[in-house]
């Protein structure tokens, strides 16, 4: 157990650690009826026509089998490391999910519209309930790293391991088609569907079908399952992950619509994870039931015999994977800064070269505006902000200074004179929720032209009246390159009205190619500086300092 101070314990080890799964009854009924229909159809066929015939598979040996057989070293490598990476992706993904434990098929994320939630709490309407309040506790036995509000660390593990998962997948597919091994997985005849159904009838009626020797081939249902895992679930997990990128969605809104929207992509991403997990459970069960020692020798040693060595080495490999989970937990809580920097080393260059080059161009309509926008962050408690709020922020003056030729103090009216603009865009929170709103204000480009940063100014720091999760004033930074992009605003209006206090009055930042925590609310002042390393702990923002978030969250 980590020794937390009072502020951290309230977040990471809260009093309310209830966990409950609620699924929309109509959806649960539809899934249950579909599954029952498939089982019933199998039993009806058995009762009416008898057990469907599956030709027995004779024992085969290398000398009398011309197709692909055995498991070469590259298959065994990919099998083990894919398991390593996939389990870390599942465990870290569960920690990410727990930070917003609701899934939707709509992009406004209105409470009550979710199709599944992992919390017993219905969002209260009689008080402010932020997205952080809604996060759930998750035991480290289940998730990596465990505890709630650790999404920064969970994302670090997720994005580091996704590189290994993708590399392993590319290697596997390349080698698959460079050899005859593809014939194991890729159906070449529609008869496979008939044979797969016949195999299903056996399983659904509690009969084991004739079992081929997996060293030489699979039955039809196994072949379809393996094909789906490699060529459907894997690519779908990757493509739906990309569909949750604000940089991609706000540049190419059509891409998310392929999956039904940003939140539908998140739901499909989760369902893909469940599919992987279900495959692992069924796969391991059948490996045990159909000759555990022999099957383990197939995939561990690449031999077709019943020696216990493959089984022993297999258990050793599983132990290594379990130890990696313990090591990941230790690193997460004892060396989180090193983990944060490791993720930056792996992902930052790629993001600069790809996602960060995308210029936001999204344009939604008035009809797309969300009926509900999740509030987030700590409302300011400072007396000067409260006084300004009581006066409708008429006396507010935005201080802009630092490495500029012309420091200024501007009222909201002064800002509007620089050229007010409006845009309807989608907000993407790191926790997973989204919402569409109309934002009005001035572009950061106009402000930059007014204050004229010096040549040494490379970074813009935004300081808030509000506090961060663990206390102290909230701030974050942006590169000048990003604030000069289209649709980067200092917003003072929301949905045609003055910006509400709950959503960041008097000013909040909008930078549409990134996640929401970079869009500082309740802005007090702005400073132009040489580098994000000059302020705070040098990581680029309060969440980056304290919660190990990404410096550049384009995804």
DSSP conformational letter for 407: -
Rounded to whole angstroms, the Cα distance separating 503 from 17 reads 28
Q: Where are the domains of the chain?
A: 16-355, 362-546
> Which one, of 153, 141, 154, 140, lies nearest residue 97 by Cα?
154
Q: Whole-prediction pTM value? A: 0.95
pLDDT at 274: 97
pLDDT at 64: 54
Q: Cis peptide before 46, with omega less than 30 degrees from 0?
A: no
204 CB-near residues (< 8 Å, 6+ apart): 38, 39, 42, 43
**At residue 436, what are phi and psi to the nearest 5 degrees?**
-110, 135
Classify 509 as helix, strand or coil.
Answer: strand
Q: For 32, how many CA atoms within 13 A lie in the half-sphere containing its CB?
A: 7
| Other beta carbons less than 10 A from residue 467's beta carbon | 18
Supply 437's token pair.
Answer: 């709103």
pLDDT at 118: 96
Rounded to whole angstroms, the Cα distance separating 203 from 54 reads 12
DSSP conformational letter for 404: B
User: In CATH, what number does 362-546 get?
Assistant: 3.90.420.10
- The per-residue pLDDT string of the chain (555 residues; one tens digit each, 9 = 90 and over) reads 578 888 888 888 888 889 999 999 999 999 999 999 999 999 999 999 999 988 765 555 555 556 677 899 999 999 999 999 999 999 999 999 999 999 999 999 999 999 999 999 999 989 999 999 999 999 999 999 988 888 999 999 999 999 999 999 999 999 999 999 999 899 988 889 999 999 999 999 999 888 788 888 888 999 999 999 999 999 999 999 999 999 999 999 999 999 999 999 999 999 999 999 999 999 999 899 889 999 999 999 999 999 999 999 999 999 999 999 999 999 999 999 999 999 999 999 999 999 999 999 888 999 999 999 999 999 999 999 999 999 999 999 999 999 999 999 999 999 999 999 999 999 999 999 999 999 999 999 999 999 999 999 999 999 999 999 998 999 999 999 999 999 999 999 999 999 999 999 999 999 999 999 999 999 999 999 999 999 999 999 999 999 999 999 999
pLDDT at 62: 53
Supply 451's token pair.
Answer: 């204050």
Classify 391 as helix, strand or coil.
Answer: coil
The 3-class secondary structure across 441-488, one letter per residue, is: EEEHHHHHHHHCECCCCCEEEEEEEEECCCCCEEEEEEEHHHHCCCCE
Q: Is the CA virtual torsion 288, 293, 296, 302 positive or negative? A: negative
pLDDT at 59: 54
pLDDT at 149: 82
Rounded to whole angstroms, the Cα distance separating 175 from 6 reads 53
**At residue 442, what are phi and psi to the nearest 5 degrees?**
-115, 150
Number of H helices, E strands in the chain: 20, 13
Beta bridge partners of 426: 436
pLDDT at 172: 97
pLDDT at 68: 76
């Amino acid at each position: 157990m980590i020794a937390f101070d009072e502020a951290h314990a309230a977040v990471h080890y809260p009093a309310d650690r209830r966990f409950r799964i609620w699924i929309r009854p109509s959806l649960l009924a539809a899934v249950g009826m579909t599954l029952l229909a498939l089982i019933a159809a199998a039993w009806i066929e058995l009762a009416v026509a008898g057990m469907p015939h599956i030709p027995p598979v004779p024992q085969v040996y290398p000398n009398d089998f011309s197709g692909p057989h055995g498991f070469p070293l590259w298959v065994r490598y990919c099998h083990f490391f894919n398991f390593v990476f996939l389990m870390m992706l599942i465990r870290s993904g569960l920690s990410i999910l727990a930070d917003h434990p609701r899934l939707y098929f709509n992009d406004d994320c209105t409470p009550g519209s979710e199709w599944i939630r992992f919390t017993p709490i219905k969002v209260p309407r009689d008080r402010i309930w932020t997205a952080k309040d809604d996060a759930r506790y998750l035991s480290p036995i289940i998730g990596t790293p465990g505890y709630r509000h650790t999404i920064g660390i969970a994302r670090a593990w997720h994005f580091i391991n996704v590189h290994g998962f993708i590399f392993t997948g590319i290697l596997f597919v390349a080698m698959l088609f460079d050899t005859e091994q593809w014939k194991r997985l890729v159906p070449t005849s529609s008869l496979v569907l008939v044979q797969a159904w016949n195999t299903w009838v056996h399983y659904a009626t509690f009969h084991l079908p004739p079992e081929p020797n997996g060293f030489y081939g699979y039955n039809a249902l196994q072949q379809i399952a393996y094909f789906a895992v490699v060529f459907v679930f894997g690519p779908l997990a990757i493509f739906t992950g990309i569909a949750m990128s604000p940089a991609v969605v706000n540049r190419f809104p059509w891409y998310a619509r392929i999956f039904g929207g940003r939140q539908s992509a998140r739901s499909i991403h989760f369902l893909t994870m469940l599919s992987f997990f279900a495959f692992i459970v069924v796969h391991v069960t059948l490996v045990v039931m159909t000759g555990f020692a022999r099957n383990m020798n197939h995939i561990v040693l690449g031999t077709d015999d019943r020696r216990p060595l493959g089984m022993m080495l297999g258990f050793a490999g599983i132990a290594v994977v379990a130890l990696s989970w313990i090591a990941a937990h230790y690193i997460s809580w004892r060396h989180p800064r090193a983990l944060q920097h490791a993720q930056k080393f792996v992902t930052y260059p790629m993001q600069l070269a790809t996602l960060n080059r995308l210029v936001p161009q999204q344009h939604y309509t008035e009809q797309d505006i969300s009926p509900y926008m999740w509030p987030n962050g700590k409302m300011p408690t400072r007396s000067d902000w409260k006084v300004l709020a009581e006066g409708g922020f008429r006396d507010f003056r935005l201080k802009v200074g630092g490495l500029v030729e012309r420091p200024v103090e501007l009222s909201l009216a002064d800002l509007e004179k620089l050229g007010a603009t409006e845009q309807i865009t989608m907000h993407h929170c790191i926790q997973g929720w989204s919402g569409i709103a109309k934002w009005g204000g001035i572009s950061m480009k106009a402000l930059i032209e007014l204050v004229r940063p010096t040549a040494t100014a490379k970074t813009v720091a935004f300081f808030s009246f509000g506090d961060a999760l663990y206390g102290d004033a909230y701030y974050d930074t942006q590169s000048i390159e990003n604030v000069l992009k289209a649709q980067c605003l200092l917003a003072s209006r929301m949905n045609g009205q003055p910006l509400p206090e709950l959503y960041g009055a008097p000013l909040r930042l909008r930078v549409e190619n990134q996640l929401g925590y970079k869009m500082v609310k309740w802005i007090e002042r702005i400073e132009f500086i040489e580098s994000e390393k000059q302020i705070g702990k040098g990581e680029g923002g309060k969440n980056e300092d304290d919660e190990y978030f990404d410096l550049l969250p384009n995804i």
